[in-house]
Amino acid sequence: MPRKAPYNYSDNLLFILTMLECIEKLNLYVEDFDNANDFFEANNQLEYNASCHLLLAIGEESKKIDLKLKDEISFIEWTEIGGLRNRIAHDYRGLDYEMVFLIIQNELGILKQALIQFIKIIKPEPADLKLLVNSKYFKHLSYLC
């Protein structure tokens, strides 16, 4: 008899992995910067603009995760993550680049740990997880297998 997952894990797993991949890329994009101004000004704002896009993607994917699953990890401010997505999408010129830099440096580690915990909660089949992590879309997540 096939096992019954407590959540629709295939959809949630894709959302979670997408968020984790975004976090890993964000960490790469800021690793060479000591301050927000240098981050904002570098390479015609290439890293900054890419980072804003990835934060937007994190917010969008976070809205898709099952509410019951989110309740399992209540210390994450899910509405704030979605709110940042809305702010980036609708008020791009009004974004504070220092806030963006600080979020990447100080908040994403907590979210990353929560997302890894989600994977433990939903218990995907190891073969499913490995197949996804080995795809071209999630090339920074080999630590999950």
Average pLDDT over every residue of 41-60: 97
Residue 112 has pLDDT above 80, yes or no: yes
Query: Which is higher by pLDDT, 3 or 114?
Result: 114
Where does residue 141 rank: exposed (0-12), middle (13-18), buried (19+ CB within 10 A)?
buried
Domain spans of the chain?
A: 9-144
At a CB cut-off of 8 Å and minimum separation 6, what does 6 contact?
A: 121, 122
Mean pLDDT of 29-47: 96
Q: Which of 9, 14, 97 is nearest to 55 (CA)?
A: 97
The answer, as to whether pTM is greater than 0.85, is: yes
